[in-house]
Structure formats: structure tokens, C-alpha cells
Amino acid sequence: MNSQTKTNKRILALDILRGVTIAGMIMVNNPGTWGHIYAPLRHAEWNGLTPTDLVFPFFMFIMGISTYISLKKYNFEFSHAAAMKILKRTIIIFLIGLAIGWFSKFCYYWTSPSEGIGFGAQFWESVWTFDRIRILGVMQRLALCYGATAIIALTMKHRHIPYLIATLLIGYFILLMCGNGFAYNETNVLSIVDRAILTPAHMYKDNGIDPEGLLSTIPAIAHVLLGFCVGRMMLDGNKAQSREELLNSHLIKLFLVGAILTFAGFLLSYSCPINKKIWSPTFVLTTCGLASSFLALLIWIIDVKGYKKWSTFFEAFGVNPLFMYVLGGVLGILFGSISFPWGDASISIHGFLYKIVLMPVFGETGGSLAYALLFVALNWCIGYQLYKRKIYIKI
């Protein structure tokens, strides 16, 4: 998404926040081993919040701001051209998510075939995994939330969107309370609906809970809409103001919104636990509040104080965010699938780097963290070459 604004210059902090979240998402998805993960890089098992639980919702928050910026060129008026562009982008992002899931299955079955089958049977077993491929996921959630937010932004008066957000979150909370929605098992209404519509074969396996399931998409849409409203509040100011005045205005608004949402989220968590796997309403409020505060901090450091040299690393991720995330996913699959002879057996690239190179030096947990950092650095090398050549791959 384009991060240009109508101010004198682009707000670089928007790209940096996008880059920080994409780098974080790649890192937490690629530890050296899932058995020994550095503690801050673990998701909360159920209720609660860890640093890792922030990266995905932070990206969705900034996606809401970016959606406001990108739709501004249509003057937020619904048209056939705008609708087709939104629909096309939504479908492409959703299909890319499905393709990554299929590619993962293909590589798994190709490198671990059933015993006693020939080449043709092995190839077919690897290719035809559509009866057990996961339908929803991170990219699919991004697609659905982007598409819904964009259509709402073009068809609804913006001053009414906060009421829609409140309706979605309150309605979802009532659904959770009435449907055993805070239970970490298959009696949860989210699990019941997903198993009935998606079927277990096409779901993430976690006590019957799919963290990107159907019903939890409702608060996720509210999440992106909150980002959209913050973008509107930030960027719909007085165009006659100087850049310095605009930036100071952004800081005040973002810190105020951040404090209110974060406080509200933690306060309400006594009756509605903060939970990423069901995307609880308090999870929406708290993470949007923290994202708003973090964005304000980045604007102050980068755009106001001018400390920009350190941010080049994250800018390389931020200018091509979805491409970099997809690249990380594909490379992670390939590193786990491509093997070569080692001793009396074979070892994957992933296994070699973690077990042979890093673990003997840093230990099990330290080596797992070192692998994640090394993997992010490799992705950055590719992203930086695109950034340096001003190649922007929009998805």
C-alpha cells in the first residue's frame, strides 16, 4: 500500500512501522526449533499477551491507515473502477495465502512420501492436497479485512464508522459470552462454526480453535477499521499547517488515542480476557492502542527529531511488506524441504544451520533465536536490493 500523504513529505514512520511488523512476523514464524523458542517470541498459550502477539495486529492497524491513504485518491466515492480494484486485490491476496499453504503441503509430501509408492503416485500425492489444505490463514485474514474495510470506507459515511466498530465488538463479545467463546476446546462457538463450515481437515489444529477462523474475522475487520479511523484523524487536518505543526498534531492525537485504547483494553480485560486466538474485543483495543502509541514514538524519533539512519533496515521491509512476508514464507518452506547428504544421512538447510552451525555455539534456545535473526537478515538482503533499486512489488 502506498504510504504517501498529502503533506509536504511522506511520513517515513509509517513505512518503518510496517517494516518492523513484517520483520517481526518473519522472525517469529522461523525459529531454529519450535521446541526451544526464546520466551518473548512465543505466542500466549491462551489468554494474555506477549511481544509476539503484537506483530500481526500492529500490521493490521497500519493496514487500516494505509487503506485510508490509498482510497483518498477516489475521494472515498464508490465507483465500478474502485470496487473492481478492491475485489481484485482481495482475491489475489487470499489466493496467495492458499498458494503458500498448498506449497507447504507439496514440499512436505514430496520430501516425506508414503513407503512403497512410485514416482507418479508420489507426485500426485504431493500435488493433490486440496482435500486437507487450510482454507484460512494470515494472508487470507488480511485479504478479507482489507476488502471489507475498503468497501465500508467507500459506501459508509466516515463519521458513522466508529459506531460500526462498537457494534461489531460488542456484538462479538455477546457472541463469545453466549457461546462459551473463552473456552480453549471444541465446545467454543468459534470452533463449532469453523468445524461445521470449514471442516477439521481445512483448519489449523489447536484444540479445535483456528486463530484465523470465520467468526473471529468480525473483530479483525473492526481492528482494521480502527486503523482507518486513526488514519482519518491524523491526515484529515488543516492542509495550511506547516509540516512541523502537522507532525506535532499527529503526535498528540496518536498518543491520546493510544492511551485511551490501551487503558480501555486492559480495564475491560477483567470481564473479557485479552486473547489473540479468538481475537477478543479487548485484544483489538489493547493492540490498536499500543500500535498508535508506537507509531507516535516512531514519528517523534524519525520525522520530528530526524534520527533516520537506523531505520533503513526496516524500510527495506516496509516498502514491499506483503511481498517480503510471502518471500519469508516461501524461503522458510524451502529451507525445511531442501536436503543434502550429511554423514550417513541427509539434512535440510534449516537443520544444518540450526543443529550444525548455531546450536553448538549458542545452545538450543540461543541457537533457535540466532537462526530466526539470521533468517530475517537473509530476507533483508533480498528486500534491500529491491529497495535500493526502487523496485516496489505491490500485492
- For the beta carbon of residue 214, count every other beta carbon within 10 angstroms: 16
Q: How is the chain split into domains, by residue range? A: 14-35+45-110+125-389
| Residue-level pLDDT at 238 | 56
Average model confidence (pLDDT) for the chain?
91
| Residue-level pLDDT at 166 | 97
Sequential DSSP letters for 88-156: HHHHHHHHHHHHHHHHHHHHHHHHSPPTT--HHHHHHHHH--TTS--S--HHHHHHHHHHHHHHHHHHS
| Alpha carbons 212 and 283: distance in angstroms, whole number | 14
Q: How confident is the model at residue 395 (pLDDT cuts 50, 70, 90)?
A: confident
| Alpha carbons 250 and 58: distance in angstroms, whole number | 18
Using CA of residue 40, residue 296, residue 227, residue 377, what is the dihedral sign?
A: negative
| CB burial of residue 11 (10 Å; 0-12, 13-18, 19+) | buried
| Alpha carbons 309 and 33: distance in angstroms, whole number | 33
- Angle between the 359-388 and 321-337 helix axes, to the nearest 10 degrees? 140
Any idea what DSSP says for residue 228? H
Of 168-182, 247-261, 269-283, 284-298, the range with the lowest mean pLDDT is 247-261
- Looking at the DSSP bridge assignments, the partners of residue 346 are 341
CB 161 within 8 A of CB 226: no
| Residue-level pLDDT at 237 | 62
Q: Does residue 80 sit in helix, strand or coil?
A: helix
Q: What is the tens place of the pLDDT at every residue in 141-199?
A: 999 999 999 999 999 999 999 999 999 999 999 999 999 999 999 999 999 999 999 99
Nearest Cα neighbor of 268 from 257, 284, 290, 288 is 284
Any idea what DSSP says for residue 158? G
